[in-house]
Structure 1
């Protein structure tokens, strides 16, 4: 049953619920009960059993499609929306761009109110501060590594010997994609490493 099938009073803002737990061993019952107690219809609650690493989750995708301008998204806790402050802020900004407000039960945050908007502004500022700290630490870490004679970047996942072996197999007629799969890399990675090795010898 879709939310659009549920009758709404004229002028009433639709409450859409979203609940999430991280593993299949857990269940969303407690979160669902809290949302229903607040006034969200069970048919308007979307759920996931998945990590918060990204927003490409079936329940969230369906929830996002259902949300319309003027609706209110209700969650039990703000971390249901993302794995860190930066991601949460991005999600809430996307909701606002869509004309959707947010209600967080655990911290009584409601972006329909002036106090709620102030709280979110503080959260957004903290997220920006956190992001800048991460960037600053990364820059300082790279600078310190360079000072010690080390360079940044991802380590090679295949050795020079493996690259030479892979090239020989490809030249012998094996499919490049199959050979690359054996080493856990892409064929482009094999070709790039081989080209870099030839350049280094010149």
Structure 2
């Protein structure tokens, strides 16, 4: 599946099977007018109003005509659809706002130090953590389309925990072997 990535370019994405069916259902429900329609378009009225005004003005329509056209539609998104004007994708702050409202309405209790709602990047971060734990930093970096250094930095808590486990195992081995290790001063 091709997706519009953070790097502002279309690229093939490897999606896990449990994600594909819901995305296809969502796409069918949205019925986007073009292949390049955003998966999650903005529904922010101010943003859409500005988009419609600018796009129609760029096409040569006068301000009064644009205002009349906008009145004919219940929402600027509908006018944008009729005019083949692609809205931008929802922004992170917009997604946060929606998720805050939905989390509150659904009475979902989130125990997180930074927020009390479902966060927009939770899925990607969670997938990164699963991949690092299951297959290591290199595979996770390739899947997330990041550098291995960035993935190591973002998921450093995993390595810290694993190193703690290694140290514990080393101490257990020493204790169980009966060897006496002396430290030498330099």
Do the structures match in fold with TM over 0.5?
no
* Higher relative helix content: 2
**Could you tell me the TM-score, scaled by structure 2's length?**
0.33
TM-score for the superposition, normalised by structure 1: 0.31
